[in-house]
């Protein structure tokens, strides 16, 4: 069978499976079909090249310079944490462009290295900027978020964008406002 996947945007993967006669497949091919059928979104996104992310390109120079100063196993752990967060930052920036009133915000990823700290997630800091603060010609930092806080905020941003794209409408056959449906 065909095990192609199409990744659209930041959060959707469509799997194309063309059924074949399972008895015609070798056991190795059957195992491959089963593994592909159970692959989750994060596994699919791990196949995306980090260089495709604007946020990754923004921190790449720093990561390259850091790679010569820290052990390779720690660097691999850091890259494993930074790569998906870069795509999430790209998504957050796309969402800010979509939702009215958020257009002057920019989300950036910062990497802070602490040799005494062992968790790679702790090295990721998210900075939220206002690109056009009132009375200024320079961008202004509004917030610094931990990566955990950013993931929570990203979920809220997704919800707000979904409401903007597909506002709630009454269920057919009910009366009243969308809130009453």
Side-chain half-sphere of 154: how many Cα atoms within 13 Å? 24
- Cβ–Cβ under 8 Å, residues 140 and 133: yes
Q: How far apart are CA 73 and CA 51, in angstroms?
A: 21
pLDDT confidence of 51, banded at 50, 70, 90? confident
pLDDT confidence of 27, banded at 50, 70, 90? confident
Q: How many CB atoms lie within 10 A of CB 165?
A: 9
**pLDDT (0 to 100) of residue 177:** 36
Q: What is the mean pLDDT of the chain?
A: 75
List, for residues 90-139, the tens digit of each pLDDT value: 999 988 888 767 778 899 999 887 655 656 667 889 999 988 777 777 88
Mean pLDDT of 35-42: 62
Q: Which single residue is written with the structure tokens 């200024």?
A: 136
For 43, phi then psi, to 5°, come to: -65, -40
pTM of the model: 0.67
Side-chain half-sphere of 94: how many Cα atoms within 13 Å? 14
Which residue did the predictor score with more confidence, 164 or 83?
83
Mean pLDDT of 48-70: 85
* CA distances, 26 to each of 2, 23, 81 (Å): 15, 8, 36
Nearest of 80, 78, 82, 81 to residue 57 by alpha carbon: 82
- Cβ–Cβ under 8 Å, residues 3 and 19: no
**pLDDT (0 to 100) of residue 108:** 95
């Amino acid at each position: 069978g065909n095990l192609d996947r199409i990744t659209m945007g930041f959060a959707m993967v469509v799997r194309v499976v063309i059924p074949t006669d399972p008895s015609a497949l070798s056991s190795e091919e059957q195992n491959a079909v089963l593994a592909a059928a159970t692959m989750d979104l994060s596994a699919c996104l791990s196949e995306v090249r980090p260089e495709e992310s604007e946020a990754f390109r923004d921190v790449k120079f720093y990561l390259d310079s850091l790679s010569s100063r820290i052990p390779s196993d720690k660097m691999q752990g850091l890259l494993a944490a930074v790569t998906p967060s870069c795509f999430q930052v790209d998504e957050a920036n796309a969402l800010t462009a979509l939702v009215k009133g958020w257009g002057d915000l920019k989300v950036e990823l910062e990497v802070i290295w602490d040799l005494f700290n062992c968790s790679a997630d702790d090295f990721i800091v998210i900075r939220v900027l206002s690109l056009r603060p009132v009375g200024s010609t320079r961008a202004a930092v509004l917030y610094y978020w931990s990566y955990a806080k950013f993931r929570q905020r990203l979920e809220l941003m997704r919800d707000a964008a979904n409401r903007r794209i597909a506002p709630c409408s009454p269920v057919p056959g009910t009366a009243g406002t969308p809130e009453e449906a």
